[in-house]
Amino acid sequence: MTLRRFRSSLSTLNSSSTLATSKPRRTHALFAVVAAASLLLTGCAASTVASPANDADAGEPVSGGTLRFAILDAPANLDPHSGGSYPESLITSNTADKLTYQNPETGAIEPWLAKSWEINDDLTQFTFHLRDDVTFNDGTKFDANSVVENFDILGRGNEALNIPAVTAYWVGYQNTVALDPYTAQVTFDRPSAGFLQALSHYFSGIVGHSTLQLNKADRALPQNIVTTGPFTVTEHVYQQKTVLTKRAGYNWAPESRKHNGDAYLDTVEIDVIPEASVRTGALQSGDVDAILDVNSTDEQPLSAAGFSIVPQLIPGRDIAFDFKTDQFPTNDQAVREAIKLGWSRDALAKTVLTDSYTVSTSVLSERVPGWKDFSSDLTEDQDKAKKILDDAGWKEGSDGVREKDGQKLTVKLLGINNLVINKPAYELIQQNLKEIGVDLQLSVLPIPDYTAATKQQNTWNITAANTSRGDVSVLEQLYSPLYTNTSRIAKDNPIYQESIDTLAAVSATLDPQKRAAAAEAAQDFLLNKYVLSVPVYNPAQVTAASPSVHNVGYEAQSRNVFYDTWLDPK
């Protein structure tokens, strides 16, 4: 069996930038009509999208069985509102439904728990008409009050319960009111063009009333999580395994899914196997049926042996070097520009990446509408990088590392090892930058250690990570000084207000031409004008599955979903 994948244009992942009309107060039925026109305006590129494993000639799906699925990292927090790591969001993507659904193949925003919606002209008010046949797994009904409770705690947090607001996705949230038992209206104090897409995100899963009464620690426990999804967590042993069991009577999947009704699989056993070679061995021996985080060197051998390789690029902000502007020496734009030009993307593609991944051409993934190809600005030019450093006063020292005012050009990078490509990619860049006199020091850590290390604010010049979100508003979310402020732009920095205004523009309109222009300006601001971020590669989730596994797939943010997956009967 050959490696299974297909490439398509960026109709593969639409976002709320595709929801524009000349009169924004429209229901969801009009969104698909304008999507194609929007794509023509925003710019597209080839994208890697998962081809379902072994389903072309597999026949009719069969119900039953247990899928044994191995992953790299252990999920710890199973709360759909706050579980942020990939393994945590993998669990919650299978247990918690959302109001909207982002189709992973077309990118359109589709109904799910909300049947339809309207948006006011200012993009500050969203009115949702809800399904009336949905229940939580504790038997209680889903209704407009459920939306009020969920959105209030997502948008505001609850200090008494030690639950922070999910500010990145709910900026400007004011309130949600139940207009009637199955109509909920959400109001913001500013335009929120990315809100419909944010509602499809794994952070926006709807949970039940009893869960929402608990403090942060208790909400993370599987026995306390009440949701409406097709699976529930029935066993969880941290750092060992998590078991999902299908829920009988589930009947409200999005229309574009491959079926409705109960999931095909009886259970999914998610096993934690940190070593890539051991995961591959477990798949080859039949101890597991599928694995995630496939070692890049194992893709072709597994494919040749008859296993399906199913990749999907992750939308959002690519793996990127985010510079801290308040930290020496990355407070010097010359250093940032030299790092941007000082390493070979061709070498990265040839020696580290496989066909499942792509070299970055912008700070945005090519799967996000509004993506612009800036590859001509990211071409390696070590001679130019050296001249930039020379002109800025960085002189080569006796050991080859440049110096200025008695201080070495040492740049400390903090990264995550949760993707198998990360460390070898950073090591290649480290070697390239050494040739221009930059000493790049790497700390590539497991997620818990990375999270703890990020609190050491004055230690790191660069944080290297990706953020998955299929909407250009991810740039405002990450880089605006009003929100995450990844580059740590202080109020006395001359670019402070410019950065706020440039990044806010991507959330201010659903008009496709205006939003495309705002997206291009934001990318140029980050990549070229001030070099606040240097993208490295577009990461992908890569699953390898045995021939007995069918319909391996992902949701739009590239989290595995098991609702349509089925197994050959034994």
Same domain, 88 and 233: yes
**Where residue 150 sits, what CATH number does that domain have?**
3.40.190.10
Same domain, 329 and 309: no
Same domain, 167 and 271: yes
Question: Which residue has 């009115």 as its token pair?
Answer: 127
What is the extent of the structural domain holding 397?
316-538
Instruction: Count CB-CB contacts under 10 A for residue 77.
Output: 19
Same domain, 265 and 217: yes
Which token pair is 355?
Answer: 């066909």
Model pLDDT for residues 247-304, shown as the tens digit of each residue: 999 999 999 998 999 999 999 999 999 999 999 999 999 999 999 999 999 999 999 9
The answer to whether the beta carbons of residues 104 and 200 sit under 8 Å apart is: no
Q: Nearest 5 degrees, angle CA 22-CA 23-CA 26?
A: 125
The conformation of residue 529, written as its DSSP 8-state character, comes to I
C-alpha closest to that of 128 among 200, 219, 220: 200
Same domain, 473 and 430: yes
Number of domains in the chain: 2
Same domain, 554 and 519: no
Which token pair is 205?
Answer: 């899963």
Q: Which residues of the chain have pLDDT under 70?
A: 1-58
Structural element, H or E, at residue 432: helix 422-434
- Does a structural domain hold residue 493? yes
- Does a structural domain hold residue 97? yes
Give dist(CA 108, CA 36) in Å, integer.
Answer: 10
Confidence at residue 29, expressed as pLDDT on a 0 to 100 scale: 35
Same domain, 386 and 264: no
Burial class of residue 306, CB neighbours in 10 A (0-12, 13-18, 19+):
exposed
Q: Nearest 5 degrees, angle CA 263-CA 266-CA 272?
A: 105
- Does a structural domain hold residue 304? yes
Which token pair is 484?
Answer: 């995450």
The answer to whether the beta carbons of residues 256 and 200 sit under 8 Å apart is: no
Confidence at residue 17, expressed as pLDDT on a 0 to 100 scale: 32
The conformation of residue 528, written as its DSSP 8-state character, comes to I
Query: The dihedral of CA 293, 295, 299, 302: what is its sign?
Result: negative
Q: Which residues pair with 509 in a beta bridge?
A: none
C-alpha closest to that of 526 among 362, 281, 379, 407: 362
**Where residue 475 sits, what CATH number does that domain have?**
3.10.105.10
- Does a structural domain hold residue 476? yes
Confidence at residue 144, expressed as pLDDT on a 0 to 100 scale: 98
Model pLDDT for residues 369-385, shown as the tens digit of each residue: 899 999 999 999 999 99
- Listed in sequence order, the residues at least 6 apart from 148 whose beta carbon sits closer than 8 Å to its beta carbon are 176, 177, 178, 184
- Does a structural domain hold residue 16? no
Same domain, 217 and 339: no
The answer to whether the beta carbons of residues 558 and 540 sit under 8 Å apart is: yes
Same domain, 383 and 529: yes
- Does a structural domain hold residue 3? no
Same domain, 322 and 306: no
Model pLDDT for residues 107-148, shown as the tens digit of each residue: 889 999 999 999 999 999 999 999 999 999 999 999 999 999
Model pLDDT for residues 232-249, shown as the tens digit of each residue: 999 999 999 999 999 999
Same domain, 479 and 522: yes
What global pTM score does this model have? 0.85
- Does a structural domain hold residue 38? no
Same domain, 449 and 386: yes
- Does a structural domain hold residue 24? no
Confidence at residue 28, expressed as pLDDT on a 0 to 100 scale: 38
Q: What does each C-alpha distance from 264 to 235, 267, 342, 382 come to in angstroms?
A: 19, 9, 50, 54
